[in-house]
């Protein structure tokens, strides 16, 4: 079964607004990753946060991880129409030979 569960399932915002997506998981992890999928395309890695990290930034992306609550959030600041995509969290357990466990994703729509 999937490891991560994203919330909300769909998010619709205006350009310039911030977008926040959440991910919850059930078991111990080694790291948590966020991926982006444009319509009809493969997934592209965005950012990875390790289990001993609490926050990480990359450009307009900010990821937080709370291992006590088994949850993570992805914040996209100053959203653009080009950010419209599905976003997936995936957890890595370290012991399972590179396997990742994906959630069902959040569909983000950014209106111009």
Partner 1 sequence: NAGVTQTPKFRVLKTGQSMTLLCAQDMNHEYMYWYRQDPGMGLRLIHYSVGEGTTAKGEVPDGYNVSRLKKQNFLLGLESAAPSQTSVYFCASNQAGASTDTQYFGPGTRLTVL
Residues 6+ apart with CB under 8 A from 62: 55, 56, 74, 75, 77
How far is the C-alpha of 81 from the C-alpha of 109, rounded, in Å? 8
What is d(CA 85, CA 26) in angstroms, rounded to the nearest whole number?
Answer: 25
Complex with partner 1: residue 32 or 110, whichever CB lies closer = 32
Q: Is the peptide bond before 8 cis (omega within 30 degrees of 0)?
A: yes
| 29-68 footprint of partner 1 as x/- string (CB under 8 A) | -xx-x-x----xxxxxx--x--------------------
Among 1, 27, 39, 68, binds partner 1 (CB under 8 A): 1
99 makes contact with partner 1 (CB under 8 A): yes
Pick the piece of the chain touching partner 1 (CB under 8 A) from 18-26, 55-63, 65-73, 92-100: 92-100
Question: Is residue 106 part of the contact set for partner 1 (CB under 8 A)?
Answer: no
């Amino acid at each position: 079964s999937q490891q991560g569960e994203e919330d909300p399932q769909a998010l619709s915002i205006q350009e310039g607004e911030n977008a926040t997506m959440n991910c919850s998981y059930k078991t111990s992890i080694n790291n948590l990753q966020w991926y982006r999928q444009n319509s009809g395309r493969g997934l592209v890695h965005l950012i990875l946060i390790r289990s001993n990290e609490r926050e990480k930034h990359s450009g307009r992306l900010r990821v937080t991880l709370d291992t006590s609550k088994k949850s993570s959030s992805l914040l996209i600041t100053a959203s653009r129409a080009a950010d419209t995509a599905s976003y997936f969290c995936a957890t890595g357990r370290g012991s399972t030979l590179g396997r990742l466990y994906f959630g069902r994703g959040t569909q983000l729509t950014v209106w111009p």
